[in-house]
Structure 1
Amino acid sequence: MARESRKKERNMKTKTNSERTYYDDGFRKRSACLCFRSPSREEVLLVSSSGSPGNWVVPGGGQEPEETPGDAAIRELKEEAGVIGCVGKHVGDFEYEEGGKKKRTSVFCLMFEKELDEWLDQTESGRRRKWFNIKDALSELKKYKPRQCMYLEKSLKSR
Protein backbone atom coordinates (compact mmCIF):
# COMPACT_ATOMS: atom_id res chain seq x y z
CA MET A 1 0.00 0.00 0.00
CA ALA A 2 2.79 2.47 0.90
CA ARG A 3 4.57 1.57 -2.32
CA GLU A 4 1.41 2.35 -4.33
CA SER A 5 1.13 5.76 -2.61
CA ARG A 6 4.74 6.61 -3.40
CA LYS A 7 4.25 5.54 -7.01
CA LYS A 8 1.10 7.68 -7.27
CA GLU A 9 2.91 10.69 -5.73
CA ARG A 10 5.80 10.30 -8.17
CA ASN A 11 3.35 10.28 -11.11
CA MET A 12 1.61 13.56 -10.18
CA LYS A 13 2.71 17.14 -9.69
CA THR A 14 0.43 19.80 -8.28
CA LYS A 15 -0.40 22.80 -10.43
CA THR A 16 -2.90 25.59 -9.73
CA ASN A 17 -6.36 23.97 -9.68
CA SER A 18 -5.08 20.72 -11.18
CA GLU A 19 -2.53 17.96 -10.85
CA ARG A 20 -0.11 17.04 -13.60
CA THR A 21 -0.11 13.32 -14.22
CA TYR A 22 2.64 11.20 -15.75
CA TYR A 23 3.03 7.76 -17.27
CA ASP A 24 5.56 5.45 -15.62
CA ASP A 25 8.04 6.18 -18.42
CA GLY A 26 8.07 9.90 -17.51
CA PHE A 27 5.82 11.26 -20.26
CA ARG A 28 3.22 13.79 -19.14
CA LYS A 29 -0.37 12.66 -19.80
CA ARG A 30 -2.15 15.05 -22.17
CA SER A 31 -5.29 14.96 -24.30
CA ALA A 32 -6.35 17.04 -27.27
CA CYS A 33 -9.40 17.16 -29.48
CA LEU A 34 -10.14 17.87 -33.08
CA CYS A 35 -13.68 19.21 -32.94
CA PHE A 36 -15.41 19.01 -36.30
CA ARG A 37 -18.54 21.04 -37.04
CA SER A 38 -20.16 18.24 -39.03
CA PRO A 39 -19.53 14.59 -39.99
CA SER A 40 -18.13 15.78 -43.35
CA ARG A 41 -15.10 17.16 -41.43
CA GLU A 42 -14.88 20.25 -43.61
CA GLU A 43 -14.38 22.61 -40.65
CA VAL A 44 -12.35 22.18 -37.46
CA LEU A 45 -12.32 24.34 -34.34
CA LEU A 46 -9.09 25.99 -33.18
CA VAL A 47 -8.50 28.23 -30.15
CA SER A 48 -6.17 31.15 -29.69
CA SER A 49 -2.97 30.15 -27.92
CA SER A 50 -2.83 31.08 -24.25
CA GLY A 51 0.87 31.96 -24.59
CA SER A 52 0.62 33.69 -27.94
CA PRO A 53 -2.95 34.97 -28.55
CA GLY A 54 -2.33 35.79 -32.23
CA ASN A 55 -1.73 32.11 -33.00
CA TRP A 56 -4.21 29.23 -33.25
CA VAL A 57 -3.91 25.76 -31.70
CA VAL A 58 -5.85 22.53 -31.19
CA PRO A 59 -7.66 22.54 -27.81
CA GLY A 60 -5.88 20.32 -25.32
CA GLY A 61 -4.08 20.00 -22.04
CA GLY A 62 -3.11 17.83 -19.13
CA GLN A 63 -5.06 14.84 -17.96
CA GLU A 64 -6.37 14.98 -14.38
CA PRO A 65 -6.01 12.05 -11.97
CA GLU A 66 -8.80 9.48 -12.38
CA GLU A 67 -9.73 11.02 -15.76
CA THR A 68 -9.72 9.00 -18.97
CA PRO A 69 -7.99 10.51 -22.02
CA GLY A 70 -11.38 10.91 -23.74
CA ASP A 71 -12.89 12.66 -20.73
CA ALA A 72 -9.89 15.00 -20.60
CA ALA A 73 -10.39 15.89 -24.29
CA ILE A 74 -14.05 16.74 -23.64
CA ARG A 75 -13.14 18.86 -20.58
CA GLU A 76 -10.36 20.72 -22.42
CA LEU A 77 -12.72 21.53 -25.30
CA LYS A 78 -15.26 23.00 -22.90
CA GLU A 79 -12.68 24.95 -20.86
CA GLU A 80 -10.63 26.31 -23.76
CA ALA A 81 -13.28 26.75 -26.47
CA GLY A 82 -16.64 26.80 -24.71
CA VAL A 83 -17.86 23.98 -26.92
CA ILE A 84 -19.73 20.83 -26.01
CA GLY A 85 -18.96 17.82 -28.16
CA CYS A 86 -19.38 14.08 -28.35
CA VAL A 87 -16.13 12.11 -28.27
CA GLY A 88 -15.53 9.94 -31.30
CA LYS A 89 -12.59 8.09 -32.73
CA HIS A 90 -9.19 8.00 -31.03
CA VAL A 91 -6.80 9.45 -33.64
CA GLY A 92 -3.64 8.31 -31.87
CA ASP A 93 -1.03 9.06 -29.24
CA PHE A 94 1.69 11.55 -30.17
CA GLU A 95 4.96 11.85 -28.23
CA TYR A 96 7.32 14.82 -28.23
CA GLU A 97 9.79 16.72 -26.09
CA GLU A 98 9.37 20.41 -25.42
CA GLY A 99 11.77 22.38 -23.26
CA GLY A 100 13.29 19.16 -21.95
CA LYS A 101 9.86 17.85 -20.90
CA LYS A 102 8.41 14.67 -22.40
CA LYS A 103 4.72 14.75 -23.34
CA ARG A 104 2.35 12.13 -24.75
CA THR A 105 -0.90 13.50 -26.15
CA SER A 106 -3.93 11.30 -26.82
CA VAL A 107 -5.86 12.93 -29.65
CA PHE A 108 -9.56 12.37 -30.29
CA CYS A 109 -12.10 13.46 -32.87
CA LEU A 110 -15.11 15.15 -31.34
CA MET A 111 -18.35 16.06 -33.05
CA PHE A 112 -19.69 19.53 -32.32
CA GLU A 113 -22.95 19.73 -30.38
CA LYS A 114 -23.19 23.34 -29.12
CA GLU A 115 -21.29 26.51 -28.34
CA LEU A 116 -21.53 28.22 -24.95
CA ASP A 117 -21.91 32.01 -24.79
CA GLU A 118 -19.23 32.22 -22.08
CA TRP A 119 -16.53 29.77 -21.06
CA LEU A 120 -13.68 29.46 -18.56
CA ASP A 121 -10.68 30.47 -20.68
CA GLN A 122 -12.60 33.27 -22.40
CA THR A 123 -13.49 34.94 -19.11
CA GLU A 124 -10.14 34.25 -17.39
CA SER A 125 -7.71 34.93 -20.23
CA GLY A 126 -9.61 36.25 -23.25
CA ARG A 127 -9.14 33.07 -25.25
CA ARG A 128 -11.01 32.97 -28.58
CA ARG A 129 -12.38 30.16 -30.74
CA LYS A 130 -12.74 30.03 -34.50
CA TRP A 131 -13.90 27.51 -37.10
CA PHE A 132 -11.43 26.95 -39.96
CA ASN A 133 -11.72 25.01 -43.18
CA ILE A 134 -9.12 22.23 -43.22
CA LYS A 135 -6.68 23.99 -45.56
CA ASP A 136 -6.68 27.18 -43.46
CA ALA A 137 -6.43 25.22 -40.20
CA LEU A 138 -3.34 23.40 -41.46
CA SER A 139 -1.85 26.73 -42.55
CA GLU A 140 -2.46 28.28 -39.11
CA LEU A 141 -1.08 25.27 -37.24
CA LYS A 142 2.09 25.21 -39.36
CA LYS A 143 2.88 28.76 -38.22
CA TYR A 144 2.94 28.05 -34.49
CA LYS A 145 2.42 24.35 -33.63
CA PRO A 146 3.51 22.34 -36.68
CA ARG A 147 3.35 19.03 -34.82
CA GLN A 148 -0.41 19.57 -34.42
CA CYS A 149 -0.75 19.33 -38.21
CA MET A 150 -0.03 15.61 -37.77
CA TYR A 151 -3.13 15.27 -35.58
CA LEU A 152 -5.37 16.75 -38.23
CA GLU A 153 -3.73 14.98 -41.18
CA LYS A 154 -3.97 11.58 -39.47
CA SER A 155 -7.61 12.14 -38.51
CA LEU A 156 -8.52 12.92 -42.12
CA LYS A 157 -6.75 9.80 -43.44
CA SER A 158 -8.65 7.55 -41.05
CA ARG A 159 -12.20 8.68 -41.82
Structure 2
Amino acid sequence: MVKEKVNSIRTYDEDGYRRRAACLCFKDETEQEILLVSSSKHIDRWVVPGGGIEPSEEPKLAAVREALEEAGAQGRLIRQLGVFENSEKKHRTNLYAFIVSDLLDEWDDGKVMGRRRQWFSIMEAKDMLSHKPVQVTYLDGIARGLNGFVKR
Protein backbone atom coordinates (compact mmCIF):
# COMPACT_ATOMS: atom_id res chain seq x y z
CA MET A 1 0.00 0.00 0.00
CA VAL A 2 1.54 3.30 -1.09
CA LYS A 3 0.85 6.26 1.16
CA GLU A 4 -0.88 9.18 -0.49
CA LYS A 5 -1.76 12.04 1.77
CA VAL A 6 -5.20 13.52 1.27
CA ASN A 7 -4.12 17.15 0.99
CA SER A 8 -0.54 16.75 -0.16
CA ILE A 9 0.62 18.87 -3.05
CA ARG A 10 3.91 17.93 -4.68
CA THR A 11 6.33 20.79 -5.07
CA TYR A 12 9.10 21.07 -7.63
CA ASP A 13 12.24 23.16 -7.97
CA GLU A 14 13.24 25.27 -10.95
CA ASP A 15 14.73 22.20 -12.70
CA GLY A 16 11.51 20.18 -12.40
CA TYR A 17 12.82 17.98 -9.58
CA ARG A 18 10.42 17.05 -6.77
CA ARG A 19 11.38 18.78 -3.51
CA ARG A 20 11.88 16.36 -0.59
CA ALA A 21 13.28 16.41 2.93
CA ALA A 22 14.58 13.59 5.13
CA CYS A 23 16.27 12.95 8.47
CA LEU A 24 19.01 10.63 9.52
CA CYS A 25 17.52 9.91 12.96
CA PHE A 26 20.34 9.14 15.37
CA LYS A 27 19.91 7.51 18.78
CA ASP A 28 22.34 10.00 20.36
CA GLU A 29 25.15 12.45 19.60
CA THR A 30 27.66 9.68 18.90
CA GLU A 31 25.81 9.06 15.60
CA GLN A 32 26.55 5.32 15.81
CA GLU A 33 22.95 4.08 15.52
CA ILE A 34 20.31 5.21 13.04
CA LEU A 35 16.55 4.64 12.98
CA LEU A 36 15.11 3.24 9.76
CA VAL A 37 11.45 2.63 8.91
CA SER A 38 9.83 -0.08 6.84
CA SER A 39 9.08 1.01 3.29
CA SER A 40 5.51 1.98 2.40
CA LYS A 41 5.88 0.02 -0.87
CA HIS A 42 7.79 -3.06 0.37
CA ILE A 43 7.14 -3.88 4.04
CA ASP A 44 10.25 -6.13 4.16
CA ARG A 45 12.60 -3.29 3.15
CA TRP A 46 13.95 -0.38 5.18
CA VAL A 47 14.21 3.32 4.27
CA VAL A 48 15.27 6.66 5.74
CA PRO A 49 12.23 8.67 6.93
CA GLY A 50 11.48 11.40 4.41
CA GLY A 51 9.01 12.77 1.93
CA GLY A 52 7.73 15.69 -0.05
CA ILE A 53 8.01 19.31 0.99
CA GLU A 54 4.63 21.04 1.11
CA PRO A 55 4.10 24.42 -0.59
CA SER A 56 5.62 27.25 1.50
CA GLU A 57 7.08 24.71 3.99
CA GLU A 58 10.72 25.10 5.01
CA PRO A 59 12.78 21.99 4.18
CA LYS A 60 13.95 21.54 7.79
CA LEU A 61 10.36 21.67 9.07
CA ALA A 62 9.35 19.10 6.45
CA ALA A 63 12.18 16.83 7.62
CA VAL A 64 11.02 17.04 11.26
CA ARG A 65 7.40 16.41 10.18
CA GLU A 66 8.41 13.34 8.16
CA ALA A 67 10.42 11.89 11.08
CA LEU A 68 7.33 12.23 13.26
CA GLU A 69 4.83 10.90 10.69
CA GLU A 70 6.89 7.99 9.40
CA ALA A 71 8.89 6.94 12.49
CA GLY A 72 7.09 8.50 15.46
CA ALA A 73 10.42 10.17 16.27
CA GLN A 74 10.67 13.44 18.15
CA GLY A 75 13.91 15.29 18.73
CA ARG A 76 16.01 18.07 17.27
CA LEU A 77 17.82 18.83 14.05
CA ILE A 78 21.52 19.37 14.60
CA ARG A 79 22.76 20.20 11.09
CA GLN A 80 22.01 19.97 7.39
CA LEU A 81 23.97 17.21 5.66
CA GLY A 82 23.39 18.32 2.09
CA VAL A 83 21.05 18.07 -0.86
CA PHE A 84 20.98 14.69 -2.57
CA GLU A 85 19.78 14.23 -6.11
CA ASN A 86 18.10 11.18 -7.59
CA SER A 87 18.22 11.84 -11.32
CA GLU A 88 16.38 8.58 -12.10
CA LYS A 89 13.31 9.53 -10.04
CA LYS A 90 13.83 13.28 -10.53
CA HIS A 91 13.85 14.40 -6.94
CA ARG A 92 16.20 16.32 -4.67
CA THR A 93 16.25 15.66 -0.95
CA ASN A 94 17.38 18.10 1.73
CA LEU A 95 18.97 15.83 4.33
CA TYR A 96 19.38 16.65 8.02
CA ALA A 97 20.98 15.00 11.05
CA PHE A 98 18.38 14.58 13.79
CA ILE A 99 18.91 13.43 17.39
CA VAL A 100 15.94 11.40 18.65
CA SER A 101 14.80 12.32 22.16
CA ASP A 102 11.54 10.36 22.17
CA LEU A 103 9.83 7.59 20.21
CA LEU A 104 6.03 7.67 20.36
CA ASP A 105 4.26 4.41 21.12
CA GLU A 106 1.70 5.26 18.43
CA TRP A 107 2.37 7.36 15.32
CA ASP A 108 0.58 8.11 12.04
CA ASP A 109 2.22 5.59 9.71
CA GLY A 110 2.50 2.96 12.44
CA LYS A 111 -1.27 3.04 12.98
CA VAL A 112 -2.43 3.56 9.40
CA MET A 113 0.11 1.47 7.49
CA GLY A 114 1.62 -0.86 10.08
CA ARG A 115 4.98 0.75 9.44
CA ARG A 116 7.80 -0.58 11.64
CA ARG A 117 10.99 1.09 12.85
CA GLN A 118 14.30 -0.30 14.05
CA TRP A 119 17.73 0.91 15.17
CA PHE A 120 20.74 -0.13 13.07
CA SER A 121 24.47 0.56 13.19
CA ILE A 122 25.67 2.73 10.29
CA MET A 123 27.18 -0.29 8.52
CA GLU A 124 24.03 -2.39 9.05
CA ALA A 125 21.91 0.49 7.76
CA LYS A 126 24.02 0.70 4.59
CA ASP A 127 23.28 -2.99 3.98
CA MET A 128 19.58 -2.53 4.71
CA LEU A 129 19.42 0.40 2.26
CA SER A 130 21.22 -1.36 -0.60
CA HIS A 131 17.98 -1.25 -2.64
CA LYS A 132 18.10 2.59 -2.33
CA PRO A 133 21.55 3.63 -3.67
CA VAL A 134 20.98 7.36 -3.08
CA GLN A 135 20.07 6.68 0.56
CA VAL A 136 23.28 4.64 0.95
CA THR A 137 25.19 7.77 -0.10
CA TYR A 138 23.45 9.61 2.78
CA LEU A 139 25.48 7.41 5.13
CA ASP A 140 28.83 7.51 3.34
CA GLY A 141 30.01 10.69 5.06
CA ILE A 142 28.76 9.53 8.48
CA ALA A 143 30.62 6.23 8.11
CA ARG A 144 33.82 8.16 7.33
CA GLY A 145 33.25 10.54 10.22
CA LEU A 146 32.71 13.61 8.06
CA ASN A 147 30.55 16.52 9.16
CA GLY A 148 29.54 17.79 5.76
CA PHE A 149 28.47 16.60 2.37
CA VAL A 150 28.56 17.99 -1.10
CA LYS A 151 25.60 18.24 -3.42
CA ARG A 152 25.32 15.23 -5.68
**Fold agreement, TM-score > 0.5:** yes
The 2-side partners of 1:23 and 1:29 are apart by 6
Q: 2:64 aligns with which of 74, 86, 108?
A: 74
> For each residue in 1:31-59, what CA deviation from the matched residue of structure 2 results, as whole angstroms up to 9, or x when unmatched?
01101001111100000000000000100
Q: What is residue 21 of structure 2 aligned with on the other side?
A: 31
TM-score for the superposition, normalised by structure 1 = 0.85
Richer in helix (by share): 1
Q: Does 1:127 align with 2:115?
A: yes
Matched residue SS, 1:19: coil
Q: What is residue 136 of structure 2 aligned with on the other side?
A: 149
- In the TM superposition, what is the alpha-carbon distance from 1:17 to its structure 2 partner? 2.0
Q: Where in structure 2 are there 5+ consecutive unaligned residues?
A: 148-152
Q: Does 1:87 align with 2:77?
A: yes
The 2-side partners of 1:96 and 1:26 are apart by 12
> For each residue in 1:92-130, what CA deviation from the matched residue of structure 2 results, as whole angstroms up to 9, or x when unmatched?
1011134xx410101000011101010000111100110
Tell me, yes or no, if the aligned pair for 1:83 and 1:116 is still in contact at 8 Å. yes
TM-score for the superposition, normalised by structure 2 = 0.89
> For each residue in 1:112-155, what CA deviation from the matched residue of structure 2 results, as whole angstroms up to 9, or x when unmatched?
1101010000111100110001111111011x212201111124
Matched residue SS, 2:124: helix
Q: 1:104 aligns with which of 87, 92, 98?
A: 92
Matched residue SS, 2:37: strand
Q: Where in structure 1 are there 5+ consecutive unaligned residues?
A: 1-14
Report the number of matched residues: 143
- Between the aligned residues of both structures, percent identity stands at 49
Richer in strand (by share): 1
Larger mean CA deviation between 148-157 and 66-75 belongs to 148-157
The 2-side partners of 1:123 and 1:33 are apart by 21
Structure 1: 4+ residue segments shifted above 6 A: none
Tell me, yes or no, if the aligned pair for 1:32 and 1:108 is still in contact at 8 Å. yes
- In the TM superposition, what is the alpha-carbon distance from 1:65 to its structure 2 partner? 1.1
